[in-house]
Every structure is written in structure tokens, then in C-alpha cells.
Amino acid sequence: MLAALLYGKEDLRLEDVDSPIPNIGEIVIKVGVATTCGTDLKVWRRGGHARMLKPPTLFGHEVVGEIVSLGENVTGWTIGDRVVANNSAPCLNCFFCHRQEYSLCPHLLFNNGTFAEYLKIPAPIVQHNLLAVPPDLPNSLAAMTEPLACVLHGVASSNVKPANRVVVIGDGAIGLMFVAVLTHQLTAEVILFGGQEKRLHIGQQLGASYTFNYHEITNLPTVVRDLTEGWGADVVIEATGVPEVWETAIACGRPGATINLFGGCPRDTTITINTEQLHYNQLTLKGVFHNTPTYVREALSLLASRTIPFELLISDRRPLNELEQALQDMKNRKVIKVAIEPL
């Protein structure tokens, strides 16, 4: 089969590899759609990921497909079922899993390789994070279950209350998903900062009350204070993964604010925090990573409800042999997400 393999920084190769065969408890799906995301872009540009993969490796992690093969002892599924397979599963038996902190599981199993004709799903994911896709939900939307689950996890960890004023920094797919969930589910007043007018317009369509192009602003915290009677935002969500933007996010919060440092930064980077501000303003700084089985299910349900126009995030569709061009388009901010169809 044809599959994309990542060998290093911006070194992505399409190769013919053996088609997967399921072992005990596993399944194989024929990929219907694999969507690109900001994490794919970062991994491609950086040549790896701190937790999810190390090159050389199969590449891609958002997927919907049809079961074509079942391993021994797989029950509850049949060939032809259309499914979403999350890219991970916790062990459910460790210190953190017993406390329902599943994204901290040290045995969290990750699965990569969605940019291919076929994908093998490991047994733990089959058991805990494989879901049937509703018949009327398009593949391109169903494939967004994984990133939306991460966003739902992030929102739930951010201490957001109805009508809170929330700053979102970043107009990529994750930032825009945060805007949609915050405004539709929590009626938050969202202030979105991004770098492109077209994306900011989509942010408005998804519910943002205010949008600003950060290329045209010299001081983001000042803009936020001007909109919040001089105090700052109740909640700030950083969705770029740039260390200096983490520092800007902290400066945008009011006393007592929660700052969700959601965007994953490059390995071994650091930030500087004003200790007086942190202490006397009683700030809560949160690092939120990945998702949990509960949020995976909630994400698919939300997508299936069609109450939020997440299709606005799909900028393009391309065949598998144009994957690198899709990543180049993401790098140049021409597209938000691309639906890759290995037909």
C-alpha cells in the first residue's frame, strides 16, 4: 500500500509498504479521510514530537475509515463498519488512570499512520477509543473527532463560566475550535487574536465577539484591558505553541484568571514568569495535553449534532500523493485543514 513516512525535518516520503495484518484484538481499516492539523504541521517542521512519535515513522493521526479486517477475539464490530479511531488509548490501570487523569497515563499508547491507504488499529484503541460513525456524518467532519476531543478537554480544564470573557490566541484549527465551543456551549464572550483576516472572519462566523490581527497590534494585553474595563480576561487560551506567546497570554489575564497554555512548544523551551504577578494576582496557569475517552465520545456526538459549522475549517481536499503540498499550504497559511483522501 501507499503510505507517508516521516524521516526528519520536512522530510516526508510516500512509499510502498506492506499492507497491515491485524493481530489478536486488532482491526485494519481502509482510510476514508485523514485530516491534517496543526500538530502534523509542527511535527513535520520539527521532525518529531515529544510524546507521539519518533522518526522514521508512519505519519498522521486524524482518521475515519471502514473496517476491512478483524483480528482474533475482536467482538462488537463487523467488516464494513465505518469508524473513527482515536490516535491513543490509556492503560486504565495505572496511578493516573485510577484518578481519571487519562492524558497523563505513562503507558498512553499512540497510533500514527493515517496518511496511508490502510491503517492498523491496536487492541487498546479498539477496546477503548474506537467509535461507530453516524450514517449521515460526512467523513471529513468525523475525522475531526480527535482534535475536537482535545479542545473539549482544554475547555473543561479552563474554569470557564457562562458569560466569561475569554481570550483565544491563535487562529489555527484548534484556536477556531476553541472559539466555537466556548461561544456555543458556554456563551462566553470570546476575543480572538490571529494572523490572517480570512481566518478571523471564520472566527466571527464561529461566534467570536471581537477579532484582531496581531500583526497590526503592538500590545495585545492593552487591547484586552481596553475591552474589559481595565482588568483583563477571565480566561486566556494560548493555541500557538510559541513560548513568547505563552508570556503574552499570561499578561492578558485579570487577577484571578486561568491561563490555559494549550499550544505545545518545541522541546526544551522555557518562558519567564513575573512571580509577583503570579502570586499576588492569584493566577492559575494550566498546561493541558491531549484528550480522554470521555471527550472523544463527546466530540463525535457534537460533530454529529451539526450544531456548529465545523466544515468551515476544511479548506481543501487532496489525494494522498499531494500530502506534502497540503503541508506546504498549511505552512504558508493558505489552508486551515486539508482532507486527504487516499483514493
Beta pairing, strands 314-319 & 337-341: parallel
pLDDT band at 55 (very low <50, low <70, confident <90, very high): confident
Burial class (CB in 10 A: 0-12, 13-18, 19+), 76: exposed
Architecture of the CATH domain 2-149+291-341: Alpha-Beta Complex (3.90)
What mean pLDDT, rounded, does the chain reach?
96
How many angstroms separate the first and last alpha carbons of the chain?
11
**Which option is the CATH number for 158-287: 3.40.50.720, 3.90.180.10, 3.40.50.300, 1.10.1740.10?**
3.40.50.720
Q: How far apart, in whole angstroms, are the C-alpha atoms of residue 65 and residue 343?
A: 12
Whole-angstrom CA distances from 57 to 8, 12, 27, 112, 322 are 9, 10, 20, 8, 19
Tell me what the mean pLDDT of segment 286-314 comes to: 97
48 has a pLDDT exceeding 80: no
60's grid cell = 498522521
Q: Which residues contact 174 (CB under 8 A, 6 or more apart)?
A: 37, 38, 147, 150, 151, 239, 262, 263
DSSP 3-state of 7: strand
Question: Per residue in 248-275, pLDDT tens?
Answer: 999 999 999 999 999 999 889 999 999 9
Q: Which residues contact 273 (CB under 8 A, 6 or more apart)?
A: 247, 250, 285
Question: Per residue in 139-178, pLDDT tens?
Answer: 999 999 999 999 999 999 999 999 999 999 999 999 999 9
141's grid cell = 467532519
| Percentage, residues of the chain above pLDDT 70 | 99
Q: Are 168 and 263 in contact (CB under 8 A)?
A: no
Gyration radius of the chain over CA positions: 20
Question: Per residue in 165-214, pLDDT tens?
Answer: 999 999 999 999 999 999 999 999 999 999 999 999 999 999 999 999 99
For the chain, what percentages of helix, strand and coil (3-state, to nearest 5) are there? 35, 25, 40
pLDDT at 267: 85
Tally Cβ neighbours within 10 Å of residue 210: 17
Tell me what the mean pLDDT of segment 233-245 comes to: 97
Domain boundaries, the chain: 2-149+291-341, 158-287
Tally Cβ neighbours within 10 Å of residue 301: 12
DSSP 3-state of 328: helix
pLDDT band at 51 (very low <50, low <70, confident <90, very high): low
